[in-house]
Amino acid sequence: MKKFITFLFLLPILTFGQINGIHLQKAVPDGRVDSVYQGINLPKSFTGEDVIIGVTDWGFDYSHPVFYDAELQNYRILRAWDQFRTGGPAPEGFNYGTEYVGQEQLLAAQCDTFNIYDYGYHGTHVASIAAGAGGGTPLRGVAPGSNILLCTFLVNEQAFIDGIRWMYNVAQQEQKRLVVNMSWGLYYMGFMDGTGPIADAMQELSDLGVVFVSSAGNNGDDKFHLHQDFNTNQDTLRSKINFATSKKPQINYGQALTMISSPNTSFKYSVMVLDNSGNILGYTPFFNTADGDFTIDTTCVVLGIPVEMKIDNVQSSVPNHRPSVQLRVKKTVYGGINFGICIVADEGDFHAWNLIELTTGVGNWGAAFMSLGDGWTAGDKEYGISAPSNVDCAITVAAHIARSKNSAGIFTGNGAMASFSSHGPVIDNFTKPDISAPGQDVVAALSSYTTESLESSHNVTFNGRTYGFTSLSGTSMASPFVAGVVALMLEANPYLSPSQIKNILRQTAFHDEYTEASNPLIVGAGKVDAYQAVLAALNTTGIDTQHSVSETRCRVYPNPVASNAYVVIEGDAWQMNAQLFDMSGKMIMEQQVYQGVNDFNLSNLSSGCYFLRINDGQTVMTKKVIKQ
């Protein structure tokens, strides 16, 4: 039953026990976040203060009360960049879109603009899970004390890269650590082996201290992947292409096949026209990746049947040297006609994915490849992680069903893995996903400006406007949960590197009866445990090389160093504490340093990389030191 409650009575009336089926309340204890809030055996309660969570998405309601603090007094969105909105002003260093800075501009704008998802809702829900403070309800997100950046990005590689670089620039200005959540995935952006411009940009910013968290995808129920090793098997692969059903058939173009093979190989491909019995009526011409880079929009006629296709052919992708193809096949209007794909190659480890293609240029849910008997190959559910989740530095998040605590503090309910959660690994067989988090039936904030028809579980009134909350399922909901946990960890220890954070999350993850026997390529290292992760963060010496608000005050030379390193302290500092750590975070030596030149004798150290952290009581400077 819906509850319609006005803002004035929210706090005294609503309690956790009075709202049934509100699964964000289940998700918080399921991920052990409630223990972090309570500060059990911790120096304090952590809520993500002094950490920025950036959300790249669509469908932001800037005015929703969840983006204020718990008292509904302080507004926590710092800035938003709507790359679709014309008229500017654009952020400094960029020449498109509109940036809103501060509460007044954001509330005047109200929401991001009409775009490929109309007036959407997804981004509001995602940001609410990561950083929402509840809007006067118990439905607060994981890190309700954090600040927020929002980027509504154009659907292309460079726009996303610009968005995360903008977020980094703002975080540097604010002198705060940054976590970027990416609850989206596309099988044609970047490359399916986790390389390409997006991967390069993410790794560059990860090296600068940015933590990336990404959803694993929602194709765990779909046998949408083909795999054939042409080095050992037959030289021809055939499979029927199933077509997905769009929720909006008016924008359904057809299917998009993403295809890739081993470096420095080639393959030929053709679309087969089939009847309802699976008989091959004919083939389009074969195209060859060895013919060079080309893009064509063509109609091939097979026995009088037009086959409309769009092809992006890359002979050798940079930097992975793999041939790759994006083949879009339009949905036929002729009854009794089906399509298949035929691949011919002499060598190479070939992969293909079958995804819906929308006229808006997006589409990330799969449809099956099917076998029609001998000589045909069926699809499978493996290798389902797309960009940006397939990038190595990303923390890739699978989804499970949250369990709740009863009055005795015992977890009850179904904690099974969500069937839709995409399976790993990534090409070349490196493990993904990394961890699992609650992602099914999660109730969080709904954009009050959306043009979509979604049922609200209950409504609140704030500043004269009605705001709702709705239930959504997907790894899109699991990813921001982990992003919020990362914010809690960074509040506890702001000097952790991104790799340390990922390692801690994996090492502190827990298993139960639903995950112990599960494939790690579905569940990752286990279910996220925020409490153990924060405890580990507090007891880990951070080696973040870039969280330095005043790096220009410190120089180290020579670097690399053979015996003695000289540390030059500039500015008005009189005495500071210097600590040297190895790559594991173990402190090797400690001494006081002063303004001017300070001598460090490193002659007894083994060759390798070390980190020198200098703390003046207000700021921390971290320098990488290479010992020869």
Of the pLDDT bands very low, low, confident and very high (cuts 50, 70, 90), residue 549 is: very low
Q: How far apart are CA 568 and CA 566, in angstroms?
A: 6
Strands 587-594 and 294-302 turn out to be unpaired
3-state secondary structure of 403: coil
Strand partners, 147: 52
- Omega before 89 cis (within 30°)? yes
Mean pLDDT, residues 606-615 taken together:
84
Beta strands in 134-285 (DSSP E): 147-152, 177-182, 211-215, 225-229, 236-241, 252-260, 268-274, 280-283
pLDDT computed for residue 360 by the predictor: 84
**For residue 84, what pLDDT is reported?**
96
Per-residue HEC secondary structure of 343-360 comes to: EECCCCEEEEEEEEEECC
pLDDT for res 9: 25
Q: Compute the distance between CA of residue 562 and CA of residue 559 in angstroms, rounded to an integer.
A: 9
Residues of the chain with pLDDT > 70, as a percent, come to 91
Q: 3-state SS of 104-130? A: HHHHHHCECCCECCECCCHHHHHHHHH
Mean pLDDT (whole number) for 210-224: 97
Phi-psi region of 321 (alpha: psi -120 to 50; beta: other; left: phi over 0): left
**Distance between CA atoms of residues 470 and 443, nearest Å:** 5
**For residues 322-345, average pLDDT:** 92
pLDDT, tens digit, 9 for 90 and up, residues 135-181: 999 999 999 999 999 999 999 999 999 999 999 999 999 999 999 99
Averaged pLDDT of the chain:
89
For residues 121 and 466, the answer to whether their CB atoms sit within 8 Å is no
Q: Using one digit for the tens of pLDDT, what is the confidence trace for 169-193?
A: 999 999 999 999 999 999 988 899 9
Q: What pLDDT digit, counting tens, does each position of 42-57 carry?
A: 888 999 999 999 999 9
Which residues fall within 8 angstroms of residue 155, CB to CB, at 6 or more apart? 116, 186, 189, 360, 361, 362
DSSP structure class, residue 517: T
Secondary structure letter of residue 169 according to DSSP: H
Angle, nearest 10°, between helix axes 530-538 and 475-492?
Answer: 30
β-pairing, 458-462 with 442-446?
unpaired
Residues paired with 402 in a beta bridge = none
| Model confidence at 246: pLDDT above 80 | no
Q: What is the pLDDT of residues 491-526, one digit of tens each?
A: 998 989 999 999 999 999 999 988 887 789 999 999
More confident residue, 436 or 88: 436
The distance of Cα 19 from the centroid of its chain, to the nearest Å, equals: 30
Q: Is the pLDDT of residue 14 over 80?
A: no
Structure-model confidence comparison of residues 377 and 519, the more confident one: 377
pLDDT for position 1: 28
Identify which of 612, 601, 594, 503 has the alpha carbon closest to the alpha carbon of residue 556.
Answer: 612
> Distance (Å, rounded) from C-alpha 132 to C-alpha 76?
9
Q: What is the per-residue pLDDT for 552?
A: 41
Are the C-beta atoms of 77 and 148 separated by less than 8 Å? Answer: yes
Structural contact between residues 453 and 475, judged by C-beta atoms closer than 8 angstroms: no
CA atoms of 598 and 217, how far apart (whole Å): 52
Geometric angle at alpha carbon 209, from 80 and 131, rounded to 5°: 45
Per-residue 3-state assignment (H helix, E strand, C coil) for 223-249: CCEEEEECCCCCCEEEEEECCCCCCCH
Pairing between β-strand 294-302 and β-strand 324-330 as defined by DSSP bridges? unpaired
Environment class of residue 238 by beta-carbon count within 10 Å: exposed (0-12), middle (13-18) or buried (19+)? buried
- pLDDT at residue 6 is higher than 60: no
Mean of the pLDDT values across residues 384-408?
A: 92
Mean pLDDT confidence for 572-587: 76
Q: What is the 3-state secondary structure (H, E, C) of 473-485?
A: CCHHHHHHHHHHH
Angle, helices 475-492 vs 498-508, to 10°: value is: 110
Tell me how long the chain is: 628
How much is the pLDDT for 570?
A: 78
Mean per-residue pLDDT, 339-367: 93
pLDDT at 395 over 50: yes
Of the candidates 390, 412, 409, the residue with the CA atom closest to the CA atom of residue 401: 412
Q: How far apart are the first and last CA of the chain?
A: 69
